[in-house]
């Protein structure tokens, strides 16, 4: 193999995962102190609290960068099964200066290896939509989203399949204050693999609303109540209706005081919800 071809093979995964429009947008947001999703601003209320946040579905590190922007005390441990994203996550780790670490593993209800389905275009991977459940791509809104993301390729994309490793969070014996979950249809499996951790620590949960009918009743049975965050009012309110929400926050009555006390100051007192919608 010529030196040029060798260099191209080495740099290609870096280009496809780091030097993308999405990465440039993430870096710009971080430098300006912005967040990728306004819901993440809730963690600003935990400024000064020392503890661990689990990032399940770290992807390129967009949640981690946003959290680093709004909170200077919490540490983050990311879990991402797609090893092709290691370069982007290494960049986030460098920017985080020791506050962000990651493992190239996915979270599930048991230790196993599965196929991760990754939409890809000619130029870059649409990794934020990768899923362990191929049925996710049958949804109309997912297909519309992928077509939009691949507009530079004429709306054309295909699927790459990568063998990935999955583990149970419970096997690690961690004590997180909060857990963020964005795993594109694998929410219930990830939650079942951290049940012991949840029952022991009662962490604050931030979960992307995807197939919520599967996991909300499961969390409700564990005593969790569900809230939406209003970034303009900087308050949480009961999530009696989840239409239009991107993420749901789940709070437990026995959350650690270090989290519950500062969060309680921002809850609208209109009666917490345990909706199964």
| Residue 42 in domain | yes
What is the per-residue pLDDT for 271? 45
pLDDT computed for residue 94 by the predictor: 94
pLDDT, residue 101, reads 98
Q: Is residue 21 part of a domain?
A: yes
Average of pLDDT values for 165-178?
A: 98
With beta carbons less than 8 A apart as the criterion, state whether 265 and 214 touch.
Answer: no
Across residues 100-121, what is the average pLDDT?
A: 95
Residue 186 lies in a domain: yes
Q: Report the pLDDT averaged over residues 167-190.
A: 97
* Beta sheet of 52-56, edge-to-edge order: 100-103, 75-79, 52-56, 178-181, 204-208, 247-251, 225-230, 235-238
Tell me the pTM.
0.89
Evaluate if residue 274 carries a pLDDT over 70.
no
Does residue 58 lie in a domain region? yes
The Cα 135–Cα 11 span in angstroms is 32
Measured distance CA(144)–CA(260) in Å, rounded: 39
Answer yes or no: is 126 within a domain. no
Percent of the chain with pLDDT over 90: 67
CA–CA dist 78, 176 (Å, integer): 12
Alpha helices, H only, the chain: 3-17, 21-31, 62-70, 86-96, 140-149, 187-192, 195-201, 212-221, 257-264
* Cα-based torsion angle of the residue sequence 45, 206, 255, 69 in order, rounded to the nearest 10 degrees: -30
153 in any annotated domain: no
> 7: domain CATH number?
3.40.50.150
Q: Could you tell me if 124 and 16 are in contact, meaning their C-beta atoms sit under 8 angstroms apart?
A: yes
Give the per-residue pLDDT at 199.
98
Domain count, the chain: 1
CA distances from 22 to 62, 88, 128, 168 (A): 9, 11, 10, 30
Greater model confidence, 265 or 149: 265
The verdict on residue 94 lying in a domain is: yes
The CA distance from 88 to 16, in Å, is 10
Distance (Å, whole) CA 250 – CA 259: 13
Task: Please give the residue that has the higher pLDDT: either 126 or 132.
Answer: 132
Q: Which residues pair with 174 in a beta bridge?
A: none
**pLDDT for 275:** 41
* 63 closest CA partner among 48, 82, 45, 43: 43
pLDDT digits (tens, 9 = 90+) for 141-163: 888 888 877 666 566 778 889 99
Query: pLDDT tens digit string along 3-61?
Result: 656 655 655 666 666 667 777 788 888 888 889 999 999 999 999 999 999 999 999 99
Is-contact 232 266, C-beta < 8 A? no
Evaluate whether residue 154 is within a structural domain. no
Q: Give the domain range for residue 98.
A: 3-106+173-264
Q: What is the mean pLDDT of the chain?
A: 89
Q: Give the position of tokens 């929400």.
A: 245
pLDDT at 270: 55
Specify the pLDDT at position 10: 56
């Amino acid at each position: 193999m010529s030196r040029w071809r060798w260099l191209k093979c080495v740099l290609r995964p870096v280009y496809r995962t780091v030097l993308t429009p999405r990465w440039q947008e993430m870096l710009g947001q971080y430098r300006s102190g912005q967040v990728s999703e306004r819901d993440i601003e809730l963690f600003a209320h935990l400024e000064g609290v020392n503890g661990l946040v689990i990032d399940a579905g770290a992807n390129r590190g967009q949640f981690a960068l946003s959290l680093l922007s709004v909170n200077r005390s919490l540490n983050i441990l990311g879990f991402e099964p797609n090893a092709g994203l290691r370069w982007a996550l290494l960049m986030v780790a460098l920017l985080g200066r020791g506050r962000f670490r990651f493992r190239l593993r996915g979270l599930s209800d048991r230790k196993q290896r599965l196929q991760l389905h990754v939409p890809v275009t000619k130029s870059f991977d649409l990794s934020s939509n990768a899923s362990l459940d191929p049925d996710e791509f049958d949804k109309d809104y997912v297909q519309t989203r992928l077509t939009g993301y691949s507009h530079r390729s004429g709306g054309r994309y295909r699927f790459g399949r990568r063998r990935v490793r999955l583990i149970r969070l419970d096997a690690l014996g961690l004590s997180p204050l909060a857990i963020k979950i964005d795993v594109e249809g694998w929410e219930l499996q990830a939650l079942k693999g951290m049940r012991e951790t949840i029952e022991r620590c009662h962490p604050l949960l931030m979960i992307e609303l995807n197939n919520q009918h599967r996991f909300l009743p499961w969390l409700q049975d564990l005593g969790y109540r569900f809230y939406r965050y209003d970034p303009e009012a900087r308050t949480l309110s009961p999530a009696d209706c989840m239409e239009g929400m991107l993420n749901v926050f789940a709070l437990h009555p026995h959350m650690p005081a270090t989290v519950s006390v500062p969060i309680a100051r921002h809850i609208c007192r209109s009666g917490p919800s345990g909706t199964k919608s």
